[in-house]
Structure 1
Amino acid sequence: MATPLKAAPHPETYYAGAYWGPRKESPEDCAVRTAALLTSLAECDQLLSRWYKPSKSRKDAQKYPLMPPEVPTLAEQFRRGVNRERGGPVIEQLGFSSWFGNGGVGADGVDLRLTCGAYSQAVPNSCVLTLPIHGASSERLIEASVLSRIVSSIASAWDADWALVTSWEHRESLTEELRTGTFVGWVTYLSRRRGGVPPLPAPVRIEQVEDKGTLVVLTPERFTAANSEHLALAKRVRELLARAGLLKPVLATP
């Protein structure tokens, strides 16, 4: 009797996210930061060099390019993304929301979702970039050195308090308290406002991001939630950073 073939393991899916506390900013302020981010991401990989306005479909999106980024165009997108109750006034303290796509389909589809200009303790400001799951683009992007540049670009553009790249599977493996707070990913950025990063065990690498913060890269190989050694390393680093007071929530807790 033939031995049944084992199904190939489902690849983990990765994202990059940056988060920061209350910061009142105008649509123009958010547009300037976004323009800087899109320009910086374009230098990280060709897949991140094309961006388009929101649309009902990726095919339609390609009719409305955002590159090279123009601040007035981006500011208008944020003005349209104000938060309000249906039929009610704008809720200014909740800032603005918008998203942009790269126009790719299938494995080459990438989205960038933003909440910015919020100055309420109800919701954090954030910038989340989805990453391709498989294919040539995934092989290029899901690599420690490239992801370090991506996280640095996002954190620097938004002067974030905390940023990271990790897999959704890793996030879901954490307790609810951790995954809704501040935790350690494959690559983690911590603003210098939080303090200095202590010595960390090998193979962890520490890099400075301009004069704004510190990048902590757990391992040069692909970090996965399926690897128990990776999870143990992430837990150990999280404990050391928490002990140093670097993993406080982005929003003040009651």
Structure 2
Amino acid sequence: MERFQAGAHWGGRKESAAECAARAEEFFRLLAGCDPAYSRWFEYAYSRKNALRLPFTPTAETFLRFFERKKYRLGRDAFYFDAWTGQEQTGRGGLLNLTCGSGTPFYANGCLLHLPREGAAAQRVLTVPVLKQVVRAMVLAWEPDRCAVVSEEDPSARRVVEADGACIGWLMYFSRAHGRVPSLPRSVRVEPVEELGTLIILTPEPFSPGNPAHAELAGRVRERLERAGLLPARAG
């Protein structure tokens, strides 16, 4: 199956450890409702054996304890955290990377979730209904500027949580505060996410940059989003 990741980015927003911990609790709570794959979590470690010794319950109190540790701090004010779902699979499916609380561009605030890529979990999660809920969890918890579910085969995927990232994803979200989503090709679904922003769904089936029809559609959507100022224009 195609490999995907879901990422969210938000600009400088200085927040305390307690504020970040409350948002993290809400995110993990909402994510658990998306699929059973997100019902248990472990602190990330460099070996599976060590990680499985580090289960945690994702409450605000737990995250506050984590953010008070030096290992989970970036500079004086920002925080980061890596978690793993414990899924035994090739690659990094189930890994979550989080940076929050930063008020400066030096540390980019963002959330990156490597989606399941094998077995029953992948069959369940890599569908539009479930991915809509994953994006919604990111939006409601973190109030990001944008989100995207991106194929890891796309060279721009590595920049999905960067301020100037110009990713075109299978699903995309743009905050209402950063502009209005323009009219898009008729086959593209556009839906509101509460009062916060707009969700775009390019295709009902998994998006693949190697599919000529998908690539052509993505190009047309990118052009309109660039003209609307929602994506940075590509160099050249």
Same fold (TM over 0.5): yes
Q: Does the 8 Å CA contact 2:5/2:149 hold for their aligned counterparts?
A: yes
Q: Does the 8 Å CA contact 2:14/2:103 hold for their aligned counterparts?
A: yes
Aligned pair count reads 228
| Residue ranges of structure 1 left out of the alignment (5+ in a row) | 1-10, 84-90, 250-254
Report the counterpart of residue 12 of structure 1 in structure 2: 2
How far apart, CA to CA, are the structure 2 residues paired with 1:211 and 1:173?
A: 27
Q: Does the 8 Å CA contact 1:52/1:62 hold for their aligned counterparts?
A: yes
Q: Does the 8 Å CA contact 2:145/2:175 hold for their aligned counterparts?
A: yes
How far apart, CA to CA, are the structure 2 residues paired with 1:220 and 1:64?
A: 37
CA RMSD in angstroms, aligned pairs only: 2.4
1:27 Cα shift?
1.4
Q: Which has the larger radius of gyration?
A: 1
Report the counterpart of residue 79 of structure 2 in structure 1: 96
- Pairing of 1:1-254 with structure 2 (within 5 A): 11-67=1-57, 69-80=58-69, 81-83=72-74, 91-92=75-76, 95-106=78-89, 109-172=93-156, 181-248=165-232
Task: State TM-score, norm by structure 1.
Answer: 0.82
Q: Does the 8 Å CA contact 2:164/2:232 hold for their aligned counterparts?
A: no
- The one-letter code sitting in structure 2 at the alignment partner of 1:40 is L
State the identity %: 40
How far apart, CA to CA, are the structure 1 residues paired with 2:175 and 2:55?
A: 32
Q: Does the 8 Å CA contact 1:14/1:165 hold for their aligned counterparts?
A: yes
Q: What SS is found at the alignment partner of 2:63? A: helix
Q: Which has the higher strand share?
A: 2
Instruction: Out of 136-145 and 16-25, give the one that drifted further.
Output: 136-145
How far apart, CA to CA, are the structure 2 residues paired with 1:117 and 1:142?
A: 30
| Deviations, residues 131-157 of structure 1 (Å, cap 9, x unaligned) | 122211111111122111111111221
Report the counterpart of residue 7 of structure 1 in structure 2: none
- The one-letter code sitting in structure 2 at the alignment partner of 1:79 is E
Report the counterpart of residue 86 of structure 1 in structure 2: none
